[in-house]
């Protein structure tokens, strides 16, 4: 113990490390579980893709119902038409995803492919436009990001129609593994930082 450190500060510091270690442990547990679910999604990509479609269906259906109730019970009549339309679209989309998740899976995969194409092209354009501002070694990462998006879109398109059923589950699985690894790293850092 340092002669200049008050006793109250030492007890407070010790007290703060216990919750930090506990939080770190829970982050590691959450990360491992998320990574295991990611592996399961990669092993069973069709099941994972269908689960995403069904989950999104329920979320849209619930959001549409809440929006409908809020609109009908609200006092703002000026925007009621647009709010009702928005709620109706959410309810209809959610119902379609729940009624036929295979169609939802195909649609979500096509939307994901379109996103990769648009995001890839805009990221490449942005990287080229800003290469002087970012300098060497920085703008290239944006360029690589855009190229990876285009390669992913190309893989999906090249494998059509077969990729429509499994690619969404694969991408969700990869994302879950990366997210799980990040949580494990944060938890391990929290546990070592607080000791």
Q: Is the pTM of this model over 0.75?
A: no
Mean pLDDT by 10 residues, the chain (195 residues): 50 53 85 94 95 95 94 79 90 94 92 92 87 70 87 91 91 90 84 63
* Nearest partner of 187 among 13, 33, 30, 17, judged by Cα: 30
pLDDT at 80: 83
Name the DSSP class of 65.
H
H or E stretch at 75: none
Q: State the pLDDT at residue 9.
A: 47
| Contact between residue 105 and residue 49 where contact means Cβ atoms under 8 Å apart | yes
What's the pLDDT score for residue 23?
80
> Which pLDDT score is estimated for 10?
45
- Give the per-residue pLDDT at 167: 92
d(CA 102, CA 177): 24
The pLDDT score that the predictor gives to residue 195 is 52
């Amino acid at each position: 113990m340092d002669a200049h450190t008050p006793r109250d500060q030492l007890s407070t510091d010790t007290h703060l490390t216990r919750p930090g270690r506990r939080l770190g442990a829970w982050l590691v547990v959450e990360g491992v579980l998320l990574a295991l679910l990611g592996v399961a999604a990669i092993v069973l990509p069709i099941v994972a893709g269908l689960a995403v479609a069904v989950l999104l269906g329920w979320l849209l259906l619930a959001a549409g119902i809440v929006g409908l109730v809020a609109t009908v019970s609200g006092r703002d009549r000026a925007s009621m038409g647009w709010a009702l339309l928005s709620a109706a679209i959410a309810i209809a989309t959610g119902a379609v995803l729940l009624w036929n998740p295979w169609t939802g899976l195909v649609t979500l995969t096509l939307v994901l492919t379109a996103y990769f194409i648009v995001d890839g092209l805009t990221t490449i354009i942005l990287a080229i436009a800003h290469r002087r501002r970012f300098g060497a070694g920085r703008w290239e990462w944006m360029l690589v990001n855009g190229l990876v998006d285009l390669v992913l879109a190309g893989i999906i398109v090249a494998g059509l129609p077969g990729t429509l059923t499994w690619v969404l589950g694969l991408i969700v699985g990869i994302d879950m593994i990366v997210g799980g690894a990040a949580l494990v790293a944060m938890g391990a850092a929290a546990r070592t930082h607080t000791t």
